[in-house]
Each structure stands twice: as C-alpha cells, then as structure tokens.
Amino acid sequence: MLLCATVTLPVGLPTAASADDGAARVRGDQWHLRYLRVAEAQRISQGAGVTVAVPDTGVAPHPDLALNLLPGRDFLSGADDGRHDADSHGTSMAGLIAAHGRGLDLGAMGVAPKAKLLPILCSPPHGRGDPDALARGIEYAVGQQVGVVSISSGGGSSPRLKQAITSAIKADIVVVAAAGNRPEDLMVSYPASEPGVIAVGGVDRSGNHAAVSVTGSEIDIAAPAVDIVSTSIDGKYSKGTGTSSATAIVAGAAALIRSRYPKLSAEEVAHRLTATAVDKGPPGRDDQYGYGVIDLVAALTADVPPWGAGTASDPPAAPITSAAGGPATTAVADPPGGKGGDGGATVRGLATLGVLVAAGGGWALVRRRRRADDPPPRISR
C-alpha cells in the first residue's frame, strides 16, 4: 500500500502574539470543511453512536482526536492496542473522520467529531503491506461490530482478504475504500474494486477530477483529495494528497448518516450517498466521479426513496426546500484555490494510498446493475 503525499506541519508556528503548535491555524487550512459545508451538516448529525474502524498504520492519540480513540489491535507486532503510529498515515485518516478539535476554532475538525475510532495497525510504515494482515484487521473490526470500515489502501488481494470483505458486507458494515492513485495505479485497486465496497475517487480544490485519482467503472463517488490538512504524529498536523484522504472523508459522511438514520442498512447508507451526490462530468455515473461529489447536507436531509424494493425502517427526512417552499438546488460550493494530485496497487501487495513525508451485499447491486449511461440515482433537488 502506498501512502498519500502528506507533509507534517511543524510545531511552534509563530503568531503575532506567541508561538503555538499549529492548532490556531489548522482549521482555516482545512478547505474541504468549507467546500463540503461540514459545519452545516454537523448541526444535523455529528456521528454519535457510530464506530469507524481504521485499518492502517495505527492511530496516535493526537490532542484533537484522542477523546474519540478506542483501544484497538496491532496485527503486526501484537505489542499494543494500535494507538501508536510511526508513519502518520493512519493518524491523518482518523483525524479526517472524527477529529474533535480543541474548542470553537482550535485544532483539526473531522467530518464526524462524535464518532468513535477503532485503530487497527495492519500496515507497516513507509512500505508495502500484506493483504492477509489487512484481512485480519477487517475480521477484528467485524467482531467489534463497527458501523463503518475506512480502508485508505489498496493493491493485491488474497482469498482471506476477499472473505474478510465479504464478511464485513454481510455484517451490514459500510465498507469504504480508496480507488487508487496515479502514477502508481493504472486502474481501481483492491478492495475498492470489490462489489459491495464504496470505491472513492478524488476531486481537487475546484471540484474537478484530481489528476492523482485513478478512473474506472468501479468508482462510486468522489470527495476532496488534494491538499487535505489533518492530524499527524507527535501532536503535529499533516497535508495530504490522494484518494486516501477522500476515502476517510466519505467514511466520516457514512458515520453521519448511520448516526442520523440508525436503522438504515449499509446498502441504504451507500444509496443515500450516491443518490444525493452532486453530478459531475457527463450526466449520470462516469468513470471519474462515479455518481458525483458527496453532498453531506443533502445526504442527511433529502427525501431519498429506498433503494429498489428495500424497506428502510427510518422515516424519510424532510425534503430540501427553498425559501419559497419549492425544491432547493443544493450543490457543493467551489472554494478558491489551486489544484493538486494518493497511491498504489500492484498485484504484489497492499499500499496505503499516499506518501507521508515527515517535516516536523445489496450495495453491490447498486453498482453492478447500472451502466454508465443510465440516469444517476439522484433525488429531485
């Protein structure tokens, strides 16, 4: 598994009055929060009651996410409970999912700041991992009855990994995985390519397809993937580019939905994400954006018909309406900023999708039953 291009921001950034550890500026650097209207979404749901498993390089107890960090497992050395990270990749992904910050504007903020994080150390730092180690991590997550598994890695498969993914889907867990990064990956990597897994591609600051993100018929949805700021090791912060980051953001979105609609099945959570996505590129599903870019507010509030003949137990949310009382047009805002371009899959191993540089079930039917030229599974907005 390759790591997304992430730079750890140094401690002691100077301010007008004094030095600090970067907590005062990091929120402003998290452009994806504004782009996705995360603050508005968090007035509806913050992920309470949902646990997200993070099989990765471990998760360090950063001050901005420590309150949400559960004891997990280390499947490499067996030495501890997974709450350490020699790489920073896992800690960065965890922060994007459920960092709680340190006050109104201090520290990093995750998409679902009241969700719990289950750290699973199954990928070595700065190197290629073993598909069976990832499989053991996913098996453990299934046993812990998590609601979401966020897999920011990809590459080769194995019979055990395939079985672990199948078990997670059968256990009604939302499984989210990174599509892969150019130039290392030429096609959608495993397990994102597995039916039943939500395959996540990336967009840049302008909301356009990120050059780093691979394309393919398995892509389901897209999220910000360029210059994504999050937590890092040693209490620092990181900036990453790649589908790793986009995947963690979508996993946070799934946690928001599972908290808001606790009786929805995993397939209905996935359907709600795709049905409310902002269509990009050619009309309908396409190989760059899937069904579109996630829209957190619409996913939490729109009146989305159940997928197929499914019987969602939760009552539908109130439809989005405009001030005049009619359907509102909601779209992800286009924040200013530049563009950018996570990594890798070969048949020989798994790679966390990006490079870290220290400087201080039913859902399967949704994908497989539609063609690229079919109309998108969108609500009327």
Active-site amino acid positions: 56, 89, 244
Structure tokens at 285: 């599903």
Secondary structure E strands in the chain: 5-9, 13-14, 19-20, 51-56, 73-74, 116-121, 148-151, 153-155, 174-178, 198-203, 221-224, 228-231, 237-241, 350-352, 356-357
**Interacting residues of 361 by C-beta distance below 8 A, sequence separation 6+:** 169, 170, 172, 196, 266, 267
Residue 143, burial from CB neighbour count under 10 angstroms (0-12, 13-18, 19+): exposed
Report the alpha-carbon distance of residue 70 to residue 221 in Å, rounded.
Answer: 28
Residue 137 Cα to chain centre, angstroms: 17
H or E segment at 215? none
**Are 219 and 201 a contacting pair, CB within 8 Å?**
yes
The closest alpha carbon to 290, from 323, 246, 227, belongs to 246
Structure tokens at 324: 């005049």
